[in-house]
Structure 1
Amino acid sequence: MKNVKAIGLIFLAMVIGLVAAVYAAGWLSKQGTIASNKVVVATVDIELGSKITPQMLTTVDWPSGSIPAGTFKDAKDLHDRVVKMGVLRGEAVLDGKLAPPGTKGGLSAVIAEGKRAMTVRVNDVVGVAGFALPGNYVDVMVNAQQETRQGEENRQISKTVLENVLVLAVAQEAGRDDTKPKVVSAVTLELSLKDSEKLDLARSVGTLSLVLRNQVDKQTVATAGITKRQLFGEKEPEPAPVAMAVTTPVAAPMVQRRKPAPLPARDCVEVIQSGTRVMHCFDKNKSAAIQ
């Protein structure tokens, strides 16, 4: 009786195994019919600004229904292209992560169109203890003496002059994968041409400080800055009244008029004749009578 039960269990196990094998074979056959295309992927980690070489790439089969936009089928299409964003090993190389064709390698390939790269000196305090890393965003603050009107004392002021500035590189490193703080002596920022002029003037008139900000916070806040008097709760002195210059009207030049010529001397005689008066005058010089 025991042998019959054992044989029955063995037979049941064989049937279950056969069903599982048939199901697995059917599943594998279905997987083999999934359409796929060749996609170029990276065989090593490619840092931003690096020029792509054939040794960095390979092609793999990628399911057609999940191919990302901007992929490449042939590694030859990526010859001498430069990446402007880091590509990880096994990741598909996308056109959106590449600089325009003909771009040379280096930091210049990472700079956005219409932007400039400018480097400022920093220390462990100015550089936010080394947390201002490539890919982060900072505000730039300047502490300087503000010029005032003549006769007034210059006042010290601290003001934010630039906001939401991208850090391109720290020292000579532009990689954005490392999150470990690095205390460096120089930080390279991505700026517009107008902001580059502001930063150049700011670092020449005062001391710069970098203020680390949230990467997703794009809001700008306009401030008037703060002076030393305001910091300690003192009122700013009233501006001195501007003295108005009094101009004395210039007298018009005196025009000397010519005196009229003197009338010639005359002798006059009044003659009354038949009730009519007649005046007779004689010029002394000409001895002529004038009526």
Structure 2
Amino acid sequence: MNSKVLMVFAGLLLVGAVVVGYVGVSLSKPAKPVASSETPAAVIPAEVDKLQRTPVVIVTHDLPALAVLTAKDLRLEYLQTAPAGSFAKIDAVVGQRVWVAVPAGSILSAAVTEPGGPLARTIRPDERAMAIAVDEVIGGGGFVLPGDYVDVMLFVADQSNGTRDLSAQVVLPGVRVLTYGEQIAVANDGQAHQTADGKDDKQKEHKVPRTAVLAVPAESVARLMLASQAGSLRLAVRSKDEQLYEKDQEGRYLHASLNPAGSEPISLDQLLGRRAPAKPQATRREIAPSAVSGVVVYRGSKVTHEAP
């Protein structure tokens, strides 16, 4: 075969290969979607999404403590989940006073519009919050938590009479733990507050609790005060199965007060059950009968005196 014929034949094969390749690429491309006469799904407008969220009141600028709220200080924002204690309407808080400084952008809640700190919100009107010193031994090995019920026990070593008299007794039964270290129980607004000052978690883990605050019945405050000075205290944790918290909330739980005198002051001898020493009885003096002047005259069963 002539070389020229071979070159022409090779050229035809190359052109054919290019044509076949183009056809193959064209067939491998996905078909374009056919335009449909149906309207595309409508995008959910922002107003519909707003209706599915919960409004909360936000502070627009920094507010100092004791400031009275106005409509210019507040705005509404819509969140998927509203925090506990937040407000849903601006009119509900206009005219109220904030008791602490509130920074701009904060969610306004009942924690700043109602007087009293988080500890005061955890007790009832017939209770008082009292703190006692604790360590890992006194506080049940450090496993006592806010919300637990404990018996306050007192150990006394009395050496006043020259002999060492040891005694132990339950000072207050079934009192609620409000705080233990930097942990505080949930307040009435449903929020758990912390007493920490912003330290990191590693420093908190190694910090040993030094105080525990108990919800003491008002009539037993003096009793616990005397007990803390009379000897060493221990906290005995009550069982969860007793359901003291549920009974307390339903008003079916009464503190077994050991001080029937109410709020009257009690002495240390009364606290320890000591008997007061008997007072010496005064000696009776016999009074001699006074001499009667005159003559005694007996007439039967009658006795008369006649002047001399």
TM-score by length of 2: 0.44
**Max radius of gyration: which structure?**
1
Q: TM-score, normalised by structure 1?
A: 0.46
